[in-house]
Amino acid sequence: MAAISVRGLDEAQLNHLKEQARQQGISLNRLALHRLTGQCPAKDARHQELDHLAGTWTEEEGDAFAAAIAPLEQIDPELWA
């Protein structure tokens, strides 16, 4: 199996990659392999898209959520005076 060295990373970049690997629970080598082979998005794990959650609520859950946040949609006239 081949090995490569990556030169030119500064300490902040290396620390960022190490933190991403830690957050994902994988080694730095595994993170690099995922990145190089396109198996892992380059995004920070804390900023993943939520598209996979879209459309997963039932109609009842959606209605319950809308009812729960309805008071937050009321405009307080005193704040606009």
pLDDT single digits (tens) 42-76: 555 555 677 777 788 899 999 999 999 999 998 88
**Closest listed residue to residue 32, CA positions, set 7, 6, 8:** 6
Is the pLDDT confidence value at 33 over 80? yes
Q: Supply angle C-alpha 33, 35, 41, rounded to 5.
A: 140
pLDDT single digits (tens) 34-43: 888 887 555 5
Per-residue confidence (pLDDT) for residue 14, from 0 to 100: 92
Q: What are phi and psi of 24, to 5 degrees?
A: -85, -5
Per-residue confidence (pLDDT) for residue 45, from 0 to 100: 52
pTM of the model: 0.46
